[in-house]
Amino acid sequence: MDTHLTLEFGHRDPLPPGHSDEVRTPDVLVERFLEEYTVPGDRVLDPFAGFGTTLTAAERMGRVPFGVEFEPGRVAAIRDRLGDEGEVRRGSALHLDGSWFPPCDCCFTSPPFMTHSIDLNPFENYAGETTYGEYLDDVETAFRGVRSVLAPGGTVLVDVVNVREGDHVTPLAFDVADRVSDVFRFDGEVVIEWEGDGYDGTPGNYGYGFDHSYCLVFEKEREA
Ligand SMILES: C[S@@+](CC[C@H](N)C(=O)[O-])C[C@H]1O[C@@H](n2cnc3c(N)ncnc32)[C@H](O)[C@@H]1O
């Protein structure tokens, strides 16, 4: 795959009725990477499933979707959209372990984002308190859980950005790359240049102050 892609920002569907938090990954990004890294019949995991962009794309493409999501309303929205194959669990990715799902071939996910300037805990959907350092510890914990579900040789794809707030940038993408590299072999990043208007009311056409995002690529090593 090229290490630089240009994609058109957008979503296939409106948010489900009663929801206004636009946290979704553009479908085109998920589709592009699942096409590259999976084949029909593969099991695809998203431990931060949100409204189910990864899971529904996987299902559309003949893969089998497995996911975890913290917010009950989002879990219900995903269940409304998915067929009978696969599974979505309401719970915390911080407790994910290998007993939850059968071995998966690929994980495509976007963790909840954090910056230096906030002290709310993204892993409790910004309810409890935390620090940026503790957040990064939790990122590593979540990906250790992903490791327990992933088959040897499986691919982990992480959609993430750096975050600009005024004249300060939180290097979130680089910090996440660093911590997930402690769990999986890092195979580099793909830079996504976004065309189009982006999220309403947020700066940069991917939001978060920039017109590009990163898809980080990792591999779970095969056992010797
Ligand atoms: C960036 S969004 C993912 C959006 C998703 N890719 C989509 O297109 O809908 C991150 C998601 O992680 C969820 N989340 C936050 N803490 C979590 C946790 N501890 N375990 C599982 N999911 C969590 C949030 O509720 C949010 O839906």
Ligand 1 close to Cβ of residue 169 (< 6 A): no
Residue 100: count of CB within 10 angstroms of its CB? 17
Q: Which atom of ligand 1 is least distant from the CA of 52?
A: 9
The reported pLDDT for the residue numbered 1 is 83
Give the mean pLDDT of 20-30: 94
Regarding the beta carbon of 138 and ligand 1, being less than 6 Å apart is answered no
Mutation choice for ligand 1 from 23, 44, 118, CB with most ligand atoms inside 8 A: 23
pLDDT given for residue 93 in this prediction:
98
Query: What distance in Å separates the CA atoms of residue 184 and residue 52, rounded to the nearest whole number?
Result: 24
Of the candidates 89, 90, 81, 86, the residue with the CA atom closest to the CA atom of residue 102: 86
* Tens digit of each residue's pLDDT (9 = 90 or more) over 129-150: 999 999 999 999 999 999 999 9
Per-residue pLDDT band at 205 (split at 50, 70, 90) = confident
Whether the CB of 68 sits within 6 Å of ligand 1: yes
Residues 50-63 have a mean pLDDT of 98
From CA 72, how far away is CA 149, in angstroms rounded?
22
Residues forming a β-bridge with 54: none
Residue 28 CB neighbours (<10 A): 18
Quickly tell me which residue has 């990477």 as its tokens: 33
Class of domain 4-219: alpha beta
- Domain edges within the chain: 4-219
Using CA positions, which residue lies closest to atom 15 of ligand 1? 123
Q: Which pLDDT value is given to residue 206?
A: 80
Q: Which residue has the higher pLDDT, 197 or 130?
A: 130
Q: Which ligand 1 atom minimizes the distance to the CA of 124?
A: 16
- Decide whether any atom of ligand 1 lies within 6 Å of the 155 Cβ: no
pLDDT beyond 80 at 75: yes
Distance 74 CA to ligand 1 centre (A): 9
- pLDDT of residue 25 exceeding 70, the answer is yes
Quick: pLDDT tens for 157-181: 999 999 999 899 999 999 999 999 9
Q: Which atom of ligand 1 is nearest to the CA of 25?
A: 8
Write down the pLDDT at residue 199.
73
Query: Residue 111 above 90 pLDDT?
Result: yes
Protein residue closest via CA to atom 18 of ligand 1: 92
List, as own/partner pairs, every contact residues 37-42 make where C-beta atoms lie below 8 angstroms and the sequence separation is at least 24, other chains included: 37/106, 37/155, 37/157, 38/63, 38/105, 38/106, 38/155, 42/104, 42/105, 42/106
123 lines ligand 1 (CB under 6 A): yes
Q: What is the mean pLDDT of the chain?
A: 95
Question: Cα separation of 193 and 164, whole Å?
Answer: 16
Tell me if 108 CB under 6 Å of ligand 1.
no
Question: What is the band of 203 on the pLDDT scale with cuts at 50, 70, 90?
Answer: low
